[in-house]
C-alpha cells in the first residue's frame, strides 16, 4: 500500500468552503418567508494592453439579473440566481447548487474610462472589457538634447 501524501492546504481550502457554506449570509426577502443565501462567483482580472479584462463565472443567472457598475475606482458586480423549482422537503435528497444574491467589489489597479466599458454575457461567463483612462496609459517621453 502506497501512503497518501498529506496536503494541508487542500484540507484548509476544503474546510473553508464547508464553513463558508454553513455560515453563509442568509437574508430574507420582502415577506420574510423565503431565505436567500449569498454566494460569490469566481472572478479573473487581468490586463491586456490598454484594457483591464474581467471574467466572472455566473451560470444560471439571467442577463437581466446582472448589475455592473464602477464607482470611485471600484468595480461592483451584483446579481441574483433564482431557484428554478420549488421542492417539497420530503422529496429532497440533496441540494448543492447555491441560489440567491451575490455582490463582489474589486478595487481596480488603474483608472478606467467608465463610459467605454463593454460587457458580454455568454454561456454563463460575464466578460468585461474596461479600457484604461488616457491618463493611466503609459506615455513615451521624448528626450531632447540640452
CATH number at residue 70: 2.60.40.790
Residue 33 has a pLDDT of 36
Phi first, then psi: what are they for 40, rounded to 5°?
-130, 115
* 84 band by pLDDT with thresholds 50, 70 and 90: confident
Q: Strand 66-71's sheet: what is its strand order?
A: 66-71, 74-81, 100-107
Task: Report the alpha-carbon distance of residue 93 to residue 71 in Å, rounded.
Answer: 43
The answer as to whether 66 is a domain residue is: yes
The answer as to whether 143 is a domain residue is: no
The answer as to whether 69 is a domain residue is: yes
C-alpha pair distances (Å), 146 with each of 43, 98, 104, 143: 50, 66, 52, 9
**How many domains is the chain partitioned into structurally?**
1
Could you tell me the pTM of the whole model? 0.67
pLDDT at 77 over 70: yes
The answer as to whether 18 is a domain residue is: no
Residue 62 has a pLDDT of 93
pLDDT at 138 over 90: no
The answer as to whether 28 is a domain residue is: no
Provide the residue range defining the domain that includes 45.
33-85+94-136
The answer as to whether 23 is a domain residue is: no
Residue owning grid cell 417539497: 88
The answer as to whether 14 is a domain residue is: no
pLDDT at 90 over 80: no
The answer as to whether 43 is a domain residue is: yes
Q: How many CA atoms lie within 13 A of 89 on its CB side?
A: 0
State mean pLDDT over 107-128.
Answer: 94
Q: What is the pLDDT of residues 10-54, one digit of tens each?
A: 677 667 666 665 554 443 334 333 344 578 899 999 999 899 999
The set of residues, in sequence order, having a beta carbon less than 8 Å from that of 108 and lying 6+ positions away, is 52, 70, 73, 74, 75, 130
Amino acid at each position: 500500500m502506497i501512503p497518501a501524501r498529506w496536503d494541508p492546504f487542500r484540507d484548509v481550502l476544503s474546510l473553508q468552503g464547508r464553513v463558508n457554506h454553513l455560515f453563509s449570509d442568509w437574508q430574507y426577502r420582502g415577506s420574510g418567508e423565503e431565505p436567500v443565501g449569498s454566494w460569490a462567483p469566481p472572478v479573473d482580472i487581468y490586463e491586456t494592453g490598454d484594457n483591464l479584462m474581467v471574467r466572472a463565472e455566473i451560470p444560471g443567472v439571467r442577463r437581466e439579473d446582472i448589475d455592473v457598475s464602477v464607482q470611485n475606482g471600484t468595480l461592483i458586480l451584483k446579481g441574483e440566481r433564482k431557484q428554478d423549482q420549488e421542492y417539497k422537503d420530503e422529496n429532497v435528497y440533496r441540494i448543492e447548487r447555491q441560489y440567491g444574491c451575490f455582490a463582489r467589489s474589486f478595487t481596480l489597479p488603474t483608472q478606467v474610462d467608465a463610459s467605454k466599458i463593454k460587457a458580454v454575457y455568454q454561456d454563463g461567463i460575464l466578460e468585461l472589457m474596461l479600457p484604461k483612462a488616457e491618463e493611466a496609459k503609459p506615455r513615451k517621453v521624448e528626450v531632447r538634447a540640452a
